[in-house]
A and B are shown apart, each in its own frame.
Chain A
Amino acid sequence: MTPDHRSPANGHRSPAARRRRQGYLFCLPGLVLLALFLAYPLFYNLWTSVHEVQLSTLLGGPQRFNGLANYRAVVSDPGFWHSVRLSVVFTLGSLLFQFTLGFALALLFARPFPLNGLLRSLLLIAWLLPPVVSGTLFRWLLDAESGAYNALLRAVGLDTLTHDWLTDPGTALAGVMFANIWVGVPFNMLLLLVGLHTIDPELYEAAAIDGAGAWQRFRRITLPLMRPVSVTVLLLGLIYTFKVFDTIFVMTGGGPVDATRVLSLYVYEVFFAFFRFGRGSAAGVLLLVVPLLAGALYVHRLRKETVEGGPA
């Protein structure tokens, strides 16, 4: 209980204005940090995106305002649109699999069975690993010559299914998606599991008494009641997945050719391979659009839930 907290019974009524001032004071350190490390870089990025900033203009050169020229350069680059397509496929594919697999695992772990807790924590390790580590791991696993997956396939006589996963432009995106799904499943499982625990077990009992089968209980009770959690999980997943960089950078570096050069890698290349800071910033701003929209939607939902007191 905060010292500030008052109930009608204790009688102390500080003026509302003072409370508000105190509230702001408590927020100040956070706000300063946000301004310094979030707002400033964000606005600097916006500033750069409408100026001509290259390596040659970094030291003393004129950084001319060039309006939307950087944006025009980005959207007229076929490579940019290729990256957008890859990002969309990568994000939707990852979301679909990590959500359904996460949901299935959540349903499994929602019921008690021996070793439930241990298995659940083991699964979480995948999510706790730094992306660079899991990326490196999957690069080894999927390696054509010495990789474990191909070795496994050969060991069980399925030689025809062995494949150069990461060096074939046709399957490289699926390869990096596979790694990303593996990382994302435990996160989805965890949140969905929490959601499952909020459903009143009496609902299931009542339904069972009324003669509803397992499938009907799932469809009529679990699914509708899990809707708010699911939307939140998917939104968070979208925000996270759309800007994935490290896993892909470690596994393929954007190749072969440009098969895995998603939007985040595109931005990185424009910046740090080509040193076109203005254009890179413009692409960075465009990269922000999707997570920002998803984020706004998420905040909107969160507020609605708090106001309406709906199930979290």
Chain B
Amino acid sequence: MSYTVDRRGFLRAAGAGGAALGLGGTLASCGSDEPDTVTLTWWDYFTLDNFQPGMERLIKDIEENVPNVNIQRRTFPFAELDRQITLAAIAGELPDIAIVDNVAMNSLGGGKLLADLTGRVKEWGQADEYYKGPWEGCQVDGKTLGIPNNSNCLALYCNTRMLADAGVEPPTTWAELASAAEKLTSGNRFGLALSAIRTEEGVFQFLPFLWQAGGDLDTFATYGATALEFLDGLIAKKSLSEQCVGWTQQDVNIRFMDKRAAMQINGPWQIPTLKKADFDWTVVALPRDKETATCLGGENWVLTADGKHLDKAWEVLEYTQTPQALVPYLVAFGNLPARKDLADQGTWASDPALRLFLNQLAFARPRQYGPHYADASQAVAEAEQAVLTGSASPSAAARTAAAKIDKALAEQ
């Protein structure tokens, strides 16, 4: 045990130990391939059962149609993927292809972990087919680091019957939202449900309010206060439960399904579940204040920088963007396309709820704020929680957060 190893060499060895123990599996891909077949490793976070048939079908489709390629897929829980990618970078064991949350482009994009696809994309010439938000979400420092996988955004779901009973129209402005939520609140039922949890999920739901007020992260002291004040007003009137500081978007949907909330802010991925509800609902654009705004969600396909099979991986990416591969995949996931040329194909062409979300994509803004966005995001989440739990006033919370946000955005 006296030979010296460098840090990466050591971690690689440790990784091999892990693989032998059944903890990893990345090394198994080497060595046993036929001479011409390239094995590509593929990581994503689609762990739920209902995603598996669609994903398996896509991978099979790729293996059949892209010559000499074999895909080895590995999944991680949602919150684990970024962490695993950074650990893999330290160990020098990055996957060839990954599907990451579009917000991860902030941290991963600044980290030299992702392959620069700019030249390939130019040659490919399909950049114009994508909606502006999703496409811009893949651009970091003037380079293309990914291809949008699918897109989503937020809108307002309304329980049709409850609104009719209260004599309320689906709200289109903040004022209407506040009065509707108040009228719809009774007994055990809140007028509105949204997620204000202390993670990116809560921030994803808060940013539209900030943008609708006419501000952005760099003007948080002013417009953050406006948005926080609006939400604080909803809490004060009991139209919104204080408990929302602990709710994920899944929790929010459960409240809506259980009729404990008359309206909810949520994304299109809830539609398959909501179709099973025993009541009628509609979905409308998020109410506006000074501006119309919603937040862009979804995933991007990325290739990693030290991949040995970049050309092959790009070939796979190109193939996934053909309608024959992409449409059935998106339909199986209940996702929306990030490509305009697919707008009139798939279920989203006919389903009115999906249609609404697809139309909203035009306004959806990516969260693209540079490598230290995570610090800013946490400051936003804590400001919202402080106000909603009554431990700070909107203006004080916004001021505190603004200082942290400015610092995070200035660091490059």
Contact = CB atoms under 8 A, between A and B. Distances in A.
B113 interface: yes
Contact of B372 (A32, A254, A272, A274): A274
B7 A275 contact: no
Interface centre among A32, A61, A164, A269 (most CB of B within 10 A): A164
Interface stretch (B175-183, B210-218, B383-391): B383-391
Interface string A272-312: 11110000000000000000000000000000000000000
B402 to A, nearest CB: 16
A60 B243 CA distance: 45
Contacts of A36: 14
A145 interface: yes
Contacts, number: 85
A308 to B, nearest CB: 38
Given A55-B111, A269-B378, A272-B83, A40 B243 contact: no
Contact of A167 (B89, B107, B246): B246
Given A32-B1, A56-B112, A169-B391, A275 B374 contact: yes
A56 B389 contact: no
Interface stretch (A1-9, A124-132, A205-213, A255-263): A255-263
B339 interface: no
Contacts of B371: 55-56
A191 interface: no
Nearest to B83: A272
B375 A145 contact: no
Interface in A57-79: 58-61
B378 A59 contact: no
Interface string B298-311: 00000001100000
A225 interface: no
B200 to A, nearest CB: 9
B111 A257 contact: no
A150 to B, nearest CB: 12
B378 to A, nearest CB: 7
Nearest to A36: B14
Q: Which interface class (under 10, 10 to 19, 20 to 34, 35 or more) fits A? A: 20 to 34
A55 B191 CA distance: 43
Interface centre among A58, A167, A169, A170 (most CB of B within 10 A): A167
Given A55-B108, A255-B198, A257-B391, A167 B242 contact: yes
Contacts of A252: 246
Interface in B27-63: none
A144 interface: yes
A36 B5 CA distance: 12
A167 B245 contact: yes
Interface string A239-252: 00000000000001
Contacts of A170: 391
Contacts of B110: 55-56
Contacts of A44: 7
Nearest to B404: A79
Interface in A212-257: 252-257
A169 B7 CA distance: 42
Contacts of A166: 246
Interface string B243-284: 101100000000000000000000000000000000000000
A255 B112 CA distance: 32
Given A32-B1, A257-B391, A58 B382 contact: no
B245 A144 contact: no
B243 A164 contact: yes
B90 interface: yes
A44 B90 CA distance: 12
A173 to B, nearest CB: 13
B86 interface: yes
Nearest to A61: B112
A255 B385 contact: yes
Contacts of A32: 1
A162 B243 CA distance: 14
B199 interface: yes
B78 interface: no
B198 A254 contact: yes
B240 to A, nearest CB: 13
B10 interface: yes
B386 A257 contact: yes
Nearest to A144: B243
B374 A256 contact: no
B406 to A, nearest CB: 16
A257 B385 contact: yes
Given A55-B86, A59-B306, A256 B198 contact: yes
Nearest to A139: B246
B90 A145 contact: no
Contact of A257 (B14, B198, B372, B375): B198
Interface string A169-213: 110000000000000000000000000000000000000000000
Contact of A55 (B107, B306, B386, B391): B107
Contact of B245 (A254, A255, A269, A273): A255
Nearest to B108: A55
A273 B378 contact: yes
11 contacts: A32-B1, A55-B89, A55-B110, A55-B111, A59-B111, A59-B113, A60-B112, A167-B243, A256-B198, A256-B389, A273-B378
10 A-B pairs with least C-beta separation: A55-B111, A255-B198, A257-B385, A256-B385, A167-B246, A257-B386, A58-B89, A59-B112, A256-B245, A257-B382
Interface of B: 1, 7, 10, 14, 82-83, 86, 89-90, 107-108, 110-113, 197-199, 242-243, 245-246, 305-306, 371-372, 374-375, 378, 381-382, 385-386, 389, 391
